[in-house]
Structure 1
Amino acid sequence: MKFWSKQNMILSMIVMITMLVSLLIVVIPQVFGFTMAVVANDYMEPTYAEGTLLVVKKASEDLLIVGDEVTYYTDQGKQMQTRRIVAIEEDQSLIYTIGDNNQILEQNGIHPSQLIGRPIFGVPYIGYMINHKMILFIKCLYVLFAFYVLIATIFVTLHHIKTGSLKMTISY
């Protein structure tokens, strides 16, 4: 019996550590208003290498200035890019950007509706493991896990009530 309890304890610890790590990487930043973005190419090197996981804080287009780094949606919201601002139209209807490692201005200006925000910091190479689909997958796992815990708690509680074994015990 002790073998099974040790095995269950180890498995529980592995699951708990995995959930905590994914919680720190994916869920907590979004709760505090941050967005995770992955640098998909080398256009922003040496500032951000390809595969860098960026933590992006929402920023108003009113507060942006030339020289700021911005992360924004492209391809109708399917992808994110991070570039440096080189020009802003006077009415702030378009923002023009360029990559640090690229000498060509981006083809289209950024509309304020595409803007995500400014990168606060980046973690190199983590982006290779975490992409948009992985983040969505982890969120789904959390929802399924929470649902599982809720259902399991209800069934165990009902079983204890039915069998009359629900007693308050305190052990030291």
Structure 2
Amino acid sequence: MDEEFEQFVHAGLARWSRVAFLLTGDHHAAEDLLQNALFKLSLQWRRVRVETPDAYLRKIMYHEHVSLWRRSHHLRRERSTDTLPEPGAARDHAADTVRRLLLRQALEKLTRKQRAVIVLRYFEDLSEADAAEALGVSTGTVKSQTSAALAKLREVAPELHVLVGRAREAWA
């Protein structure tokens, strides 16, 4: 394997694992998603490494995620887990656990596209244009999916607003 590719994977593995988990809601599915995406990236590495490998991997992951869902959404339902993978020690384990559980439950109530847009826009902090490019949709679709997802989150988990505010204060 190419040494540059190994370094790229090692440097971003924790981050990409969290993204995959946020998309799938399941540790095993997240591992499979990330493994498949990294394999596809490895096949194109010589061409991609001079461009932007993060953007390319992101696009592979989101397309693979939607593609897998389309093939299997009638066959099986997502299963939730009790923990999210996070690096480092948390300041308040109880509050972090409550926040993660509420967030996970809220994200499970979104459609796949809504969840993908929320992860791209707010976890990865991408612009609307960059999120649209990663998903292969228009900026208008990103805007409408974001609006629908945020409305749904406000409806199903109004307590998240309070918890997110408290987390920001604790981390500031």
- TM-score between the two structures when normalised by the length of structure 1: 0.21
Higher alpha-carbon Rg: 1
Structure with the largest fraction of strand: 1
Structure with the largest fraction of helix: 2
- TM-score between the two structures when normalised by the length of structure 2: 0.21
